[in-house]
Amino acid sequence: MINLEKIRNKNLPLTKNGHVASYIPALARVKADQLGIVIYDLDSNQLQSVGQSQVRFAIESISKVITLLYAIKQRGFEEVNSRVNTRQSGFAFNSILNLEIEHEKKPLNPFINAGAIMTTSLIKPQDNLTPFEQILAFAQEICHDPELSLDEEIFYSEDETGDVDRSLAYYLKAHMMIQDNVTDSLRTYFKQCSMKVTATSLANLGAVLANDGIKPWDNERIISSQAATFVKSLMMTTGLYNESGVYSARMGLPTKSGVGGGLMSAAPHKCGIGVFSPPLDKDGNSVAGLSVLNELSDELNLDIFK
């Protein structure tokens, strides 16, 4: 068994090298010196955790993985692919410039904000449930976390300060990429980002992706093999924004980050990993979290190209 305590002690001081996200005011109040690490090992079917593994924090951009998987489940792979591209972006995740580079009138990928708002807009009311109610229920199931819920305070904070995201959504509408009511899609997007998870829920999500779409805790398939592979590939190419290429080359581990300080990785057929540490680098990725993932990739031999 790997010595997670040692890895945590070594990396905790790195929390001083980053800054907690402050552009969403509710996130600025989070305590900085936290580091939680959880590994869901598929071989032993067991979780190993250390530090703040049960502390709840905002999922933020990692929710984009969940809505993408749910949109594929509800609308089908072809429709989702026809509405959002799979290209890398050279700009920040919320840059309007991402939209100026048009490829077949589609946002560049589902992990920049414009692409995520597009994905969210594809989810339709079903069985008397709103799109957000469906996303929440799906998130609880795929993260094996029935307590996963919406944090109203973070939601209001996102909504109040979300004018850049509003601009992106109205750009999509003005350019006929979204025809529906963008106000509803924006609300759903802000709510999905404001769901509270733990590093353990993220390790569970990573484990489902690593296990080809089958929940390892009950052996039931929740997403198709095709969806699991597609999402892992996208995490590899665009999961860490502008740093994606650097980390794909460095640790070769499909990973998605969020500005709440979460990181979720899926090492195919090996393990799912959830890390929580709020201070971020300039691109919006957890500083201590990325360093932990580098070490885990080396020590557990997780690089998919090895």
The three-state secondary structure class of 146 is coil
Does 277 interact with ligand GLN (rule: CB under 6 A)? no
Q: Tell me which residue of 47, 34, 23 sits closest to 193, measured CA to CA.
A: 23
Nearest-angstrom CA–CA distance, 134 and 270: 29
Active-site choice (61, 157, 248, 257): 61
Amino acid at site 49: S
Active-site choice (241, 247, 256, 270): 241
CB-CB contact of 111 with 234 (8 Å): yes
Nearest-angstrom CA–CA distance, 145 and 90: 34
- Kindly write out the interface string for residues 114-153 of this chain, putting x where it contacts ligand GLN by CB under 6 A and - elsewhere: ----------------------------------------
265 labelled catalytic: no
Residue of this chain nearest to ligand GLN (CB atom): 61
- Kindly write out the interface string for residues 30-69 of this chain, putting x where it contacts ligand GLN by CB under 6 A and - elsewhere: ------------------------------xx--------
CB-CB contact of 35 with 292 (8 Å): yes
In the window 197-256, what residues touch ligand GLN (CB under 6 A)? none
Residue 140's H or E segment, with its range, is helix 131-142
Of 41 and 243, the one with the shorter C-beta distance to ligand GLN is: 243
Nearest-angstrom CA–CA distance, 80 and 91: 23
Does 93 interact with ligand GLN (rule: CB under 6 A)? yes
Give least dist CB 189 to ligand GLN, A. Answer: 7
Active-site choice (259, 275, 287, 292): 259
Nearest-angstrom CA–CA distance, 53 and 116: 27
Interacting residues with ligand GLN (CB under 6 A)? 60-61, 93-94, 113, 158, 165, 193, 258-259, 284
Q: Give the residue numbers marked as catalytic.
A: 61, 64, 189, 241, 259
